[in-house]
């Protein structure tokens, strides 16, 4: 093989360097700038995409913060509305309770007055009936005629003693 002949090594090495030099110059002046431009465009696009992603991420963070603030404000408003409504209902209930309590107290007082009046009337009737019965018993048993006023006074005294001992 002639390529392996040591006598032609030097010209082969010369032409090898010349040919590789020409290929290097061709690549350096024609293909390398195109590749460099493609790589630069790619890097620019990646940089712009990263910047756009950062902007979008910042906008998303702002939207999240705004959302959380709106949500917190809505919670505060809802809590305030519930507390206000609860206080209004409580005030209405207290007013109704006070109204009913006053009404029941008035009715109880009126009933107490009626009961006292009925009791006094019943006692007066019992005194009158008792005086008549005592007078009839004395007349029937002893045959004596007793003054109605005297019997009534004695019975009233006895009733008052019984009443005081019952109340006291």
Asked whether residue 2 is assigned to any structural domain, the reply reads no
Instruction: List, in order, residues 6 or more apart from 164 with CB less than 8 Å away.
Output: none
Domain count, the chain: 1
Q: Is the pLDDT of residue 148 over 80?
A: no
The pLDDT value given to residue 150: 74
The whole-number average pLDDT for the span 70-86 is 96
Q: Is the pLDDT of residue 168 over 70?
A: no
Asked whether residue 117 is assigned to any structural domain, the reply reads yes
Q: Would you list the DSSP string of 126-137?
A: HHHHHHHHHHHH
At residue 26, φ and ψ (nearest 5 deg) are -60, -45
Q: Is the pLDDT of residue 2 over 90?
A: no
Asked whether residue 146 is assigned to any structural domain, the reply reads yes
CB 127 within 8 A of CB 153: no
The pLDDT value given to residue 1: 63
User: Which residue's entry shows tokens 């029941």?
Assistant: 104
Instruction: List, in order, residues 6 or more apart from 159 with CB less than 8 Å away.
Output: 123, 126, 127, 130
Q: Is the pLDDT of residue 37 over 80?
A: yes
Q: How confident is the model at residue 129 (pLDDT cuts 50, 70, 90)?
A: confident
Query: What is the per-residue pLDDT across 80-128, written as a single tens digit (0 to 9) for each?
Result: 999 999 999 999 999 999 999 999 999 999 999 999 888 888 877 877 7
Quote the domain boundaries for residue 16.
Answer: 8-167
Asked whether residue 124 is assigned to any structural domain, the reply reads yes
Q: Would you list the DSSP string of the chain?
A: -GGG-GGGHHHHHHHHHHHHHHHHHHIIIIIHHHHHHHHHHHHHHHHHHHHHHHHHHHHHHHHHHHHHHHHHHHHHHHHHHHHHHHHHHHHHHHHHHHHHHHHHHHHHHHHHHHHHHHHHHHHHHHHHHHHHHHHHHHHHHH-----HHHHHHHHHHHHHHHHHHHH-
The pLDDT value given to residue 59: 97
Asked whether residue 70 is assigned to any structural domain, the reply reads yes
| Confidence (pTM) | 0.43
Asked whether residue 3 is assigned to any structural domain, the reply reads no
The pLDDT value given to residue 8: 80
């Amino acid at each position: 093989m002639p390529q392996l002949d040591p006598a032609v090594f030097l010209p082969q090495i010369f032409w090898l360097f010349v040919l590789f030099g020409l290929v290097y110059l061709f690549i350096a002046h024609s293909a390398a700038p195109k590749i460099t431009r493609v790589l630069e465009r790619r890097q620019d696009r990646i940089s712009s995409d990263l910047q756009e992603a950062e902007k979008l991420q910042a906008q998303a963070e702002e939207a999240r913060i705004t959302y959380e603030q709106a949500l917190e404000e809505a919670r505060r408003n809802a809590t305030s509305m519930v507390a206000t409504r609860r206080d209004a209902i409580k005030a209405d209930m207290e007013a109704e309770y006070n109204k009913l309590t006053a009404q029941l107290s008035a009715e109880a007082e009126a009933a107490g007055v009626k009961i006292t009046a009925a009791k006094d009337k019943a006692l007066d009737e019992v005194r009158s009936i008792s005086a008549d019965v005592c007078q009839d018993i004395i007349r029937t048993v002893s045959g004596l005629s007793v003054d109605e006023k005297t019997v009534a006074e004695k019975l009233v005294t006895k009733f008052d003693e019984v009443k005081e001992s019952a109340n006291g």
